[in-house]
Amino acid sequence: MTAKETITSGKAILGIEFGSTRIKAVLIDPEYKPIAQGSHTWENQLVNGLWTYSVESIWFGLQDCYSDLRKNVLKQYEVEIENLAAIGISAMMHGYMPFDKNGNILVPFRTWRNTNTAKAAAELSDLFVFNVPLRWSISHLYQAILDNEPHVKDIDFLTTLAGFIHWQLTGKRVLGVGDASGMIPVDPATKSYNATMVEKFDKLIAGKGYPWKLLDILPESLDAGQDAGVLTEAGARKLDITGHLKPGAPICPPEGDAGTGMVATNAVRPRTGNVSAGTSSFSMIVLEKDLKKPHEVIDIVTTPDGSPVAMVHCNNCTSDLNAWVNLFKEFEEIMGIPVDMGQLFTNLFNVALKGNPDCGGIMSYNYVSGEPVTGFADGRPLFVRSANDKFNLANFMRAIISGAIGVLKVGNDILFNEEKIKVDRITGHGGLFTTPGVGQRILGAALNSPISCMKTAGEGGPWGMAILASYLINNKKKQSLAEFLDDQVFAGDTGTSVAPTPEDVAGFNAYIENYKQCLPIEAAAVEYKK
């Protein structure tokens, strides 16, 4: 069946993911191959000290992304998208979207990027004996309670961005278990919210007199492959404003970007892992045993089918790197050199491999925002060197790339060195890995592990979400998600692996020790640079 026939016969599957800077849509065929794409670029806004996206920008972004996909389909295949076999919606995890009984949002969407929840997260971590990060929905909710925000009494529904979009498209207040596990802790045995912790929270706030209990306002947690509703007529109109798309397509449980990354890299089995490196970065290691104790810098979430995962999440990754590359772009422009951004990235990344393994002593902090792993509620991008450091372009670029994954290294050292976690395979995806071999090698040096990249990794989250939608309707053999991915989607493809050299590993270890030693410089910048 050709791509055109797939679309006209209604057998195409749609995956959409709301990233921090881009909303992306991917249409796949029954063989899981992408056949069309669409995208929309957007940016978060700092409003009253909190990072947010307006509801208006969410809907405009979704509609523009789908419109771009539709136009590309028309251009490539000269057909309209009228019916879809299945749909999946994913988005950045965590954050805070509370709604009243009329479906109106009570306060602007508070994203994962906000670090105003330190008091709440600390108290809940003590109460639960479980690391509750600042960005989790329960931290935002409890912080709003601590701050006596008047809207809390009016909450009828609390969800994530993916859960919100899914609700509007289907009428169903549900969430995939992976995304749910970033709201409040999930019990892998039940694949739903941890009952003991829910009870503790309800007792904690009992004196406040709110008309709801926690489970009253949370979405139902669903396992991958479970029924999560269908695209309603109103939902179809919200997605495709031209009216061509018909209702009725089943929509799988909405997931977070962590879960779609796991699927896109075939990393849902124990002892597999993946690293996503884009605007933010995170590593996900699927655990074969519980950690010995809670760690403040390690989150425990789940795969889309409910297996426990150790997650190290870093607020910052490629934003500062991109800013430096744009500086080189400006240089090329004033020199009258035609600018090819792809080539510019490639050349600058490749030159980084010619640098010293320890970056010649040069340091880079990519803290556009705060970085909880290293204890920063706020951040300042910094480039630091002494007169004796080996300052050249190769070391500069290597330091900038190493700085983008420095915090990730700090968090994963706890997993590998203290908890003695074993991993058979780590797969990288995201913008850092666009230039073949470079991001893999430097990340491999940071984690002292071979790093694989798959051809499909560039498709990333929306492709992973489309796969979850396919799992909903095409799992005829009733396989587990891991079996389905192994047998149906990847068929033994483990990608291209790059192993670090001992020199690279030793060099990155030296870099990170210097990095940690110089953190007081970052602290001073936060204090004095306003």
- The domain containing residue 474 runs over which residues? 1-92+224-264+462-496
484-503 pLDDT per residue, tens: 999 999 986 767 899 999 99
351-397 pLDDT per residue, tens: 999 999 999 999 999 999 999 889 998 999 999 999 999 999 999 99
- pLDDT, residue 341, reads 95
Same domain, 331 and 382: yes
Answer yes or no: are the C-beta atoms of 188 and 307 closer than 8 Å. yes
Higher pLDDT pick, 258 / 25: 25
Same domain, 473 and 511: no
- pLDDT, residue 436, reads 86
302-344 pLDDT per residue, tens: 999 999 999 998 989 999 999 999 999 999 999 999 999 999 9
Same domain, 3 and 86: yes
Q: Is residue 304 part of a domain?
A: no
Answer yes or no: are the C-beta atoms of 469 and 13 closer than 8 Å. yes
Q: For residue 218, what are its two tokens?
A: 């949370």
Residue with tokens 């529904």: 157
Same domain, 244 and 325: no
Cross-strand bridge partners of residue 286: 309
Alpha carbon distance 249, 391 (integer Å): 57
Q: For residue 293, what are its two tokens?
A: 């104790």
* Close Cβ partners of 368 (under 8 Å, ≥ 6 residues apart): 316, 319, 320, 379, 381
Same domain, 396 and 509: yes
Kindly report the CATH number assigned to the domain that includes residue 240: 3.30.420.40
What does the DSSP 8-state code read for residue 499? Answer: P
Alpha carbon distance 498, 365 (integer Å): 25
Same domain, 323 and 260: no
Same domain, 81 and 4: yes
- pLDDT, residue 276, reads 86
75-94 pLDDT per residue, tens: 999 999 999 999 999 999 99
User: Residue 412, Cα to own-chain centre: how many angstroms?
Assistant: 17
What are the φ and ψ backbone dihedral angles of 281, each rounded to 5 degrees?
-135, 150
Secondary structure (DSSP) of 35-91: EEEEEEE---EEETTEEE--HHHHHHHHHHHHHHHHHHHHHHHS------SEEEEEE
The amino acid sitting at 530 is: K
Same domain, 250 and 388: no
Q: Is residue 509 part of a domain?
A: yes
43-58 pLDDT per residue, tens: 999 999 999 999 999 9
Q: Is residue 346 part of a domain?
A: yes
What does the DSSP 8-state code read for residue 487? Answer: I
Q: What percent of the chain has pLDDT over 70?
A: 99
> What global pTM score does this model have?
0.86
Q: Is the pLDDT of residue 459 over 70?
A: no
Q: Is the pLDDT of residue 458 over 90?
A: no
User: Residue 44, Cα to own-chain centre: how many angstroms?
Assistant: 15
Domains identified in the chain, total number: 2
